[in-house]
Structure 1
Amino acid sequence: MLLFVYNADEGLFAALGDAVHKAVSPDTYPCSLCAVSYGAVRMRPEWRAHLRSLPYATRFFHRQDFRRAYPELDVELPAILLDQGSGPRVLVDAGTLNGVGDVKELIDTLSRSLRA
Structure 2
Amino acid sequence: MTLIFVYNSESGPISGLLDIGHKIISPDTYQCSLCSLTHDTFSEKDGWKQFRKSVGMPMEFLHRDEFEKKYGRTYEYPLILMKNGDMRVIMTKEEIDRIENLEKLIEGVKNALPEKA
Please give the alpha-carbon distance, in whole angstroms, between the structure 2 residues aligned to 1:59 and 1:68: 14
Provide TM-score, normalisation by structure 1: 0.91
Runs of 4+ in 1 over 3 A off after TM superposition: none
Residue pair 1:36, 1:103 contacting (<8 A) in 2 also: yes
| TM-score between both structures, scaled by the size of structure 2 | 0.90
Deviation per residue, 1:47-66 (Å, 9 max, x gap): 01101111210111101000
- Give, as a single letter, the amino acid of the residue that structure 2 aligns with 1:50: F
Equivalent pairs, count: 114
Spell out, residue by residue over 1:31-88, the C-alpha distance to the aligned partner (whole angstroms, 9 max, x if none). 10011100112111110110111121011110100011111x332110111111x222
Give the letter for the 2:107 counterpart.
Answer: D
CA distance in 1, matches of 2:86, 2:43: 29
In structure 1, the gaps of 5 or more residues are: none
Give the aligned partner of residue 98 of structure 2.
99
**8 Å contact from structure 1 (residues 4, 81) kept in 2:** yes
Q: Name structure 2 gaps, 5 residues minimum.
A: none
Q: Does 1:69 align with 2:74?
A: no
Alpha-carbon deviation of 1:115?
A: 4.9
Residue number in structure 2 paired with 1:58? 59
Q: CA RMSD in A?
A: 1.4
CA distance in 2, matches of 1:102, 1:21: 19
> Identity across aligned pairs (percent)?
31
Q: How does 1:1-116 map to 2 (within 5 A)?
A: 1-71=2-72, 73-84=73-84, 86-115=85-114
Partner Cα distance (2:114, 2:55) in 1: 12
Distance (Å, rounded) in 1 between the aligned partners of 2:114 and 2:29:
31
CA offset at residue 111 of structure 1? Answer: 1.3
Kept after mapping to 2: 8 A contact 1:33/1:97: yes
Shift in Å at residue 6 of structure 1?
0.3
What does the per-residue CA deviation read over 1:68-116, in whole Å, with 9 as the maximum and x for residues that have no partner?
A: 1111x332110111111x2221011110111112111111111122258
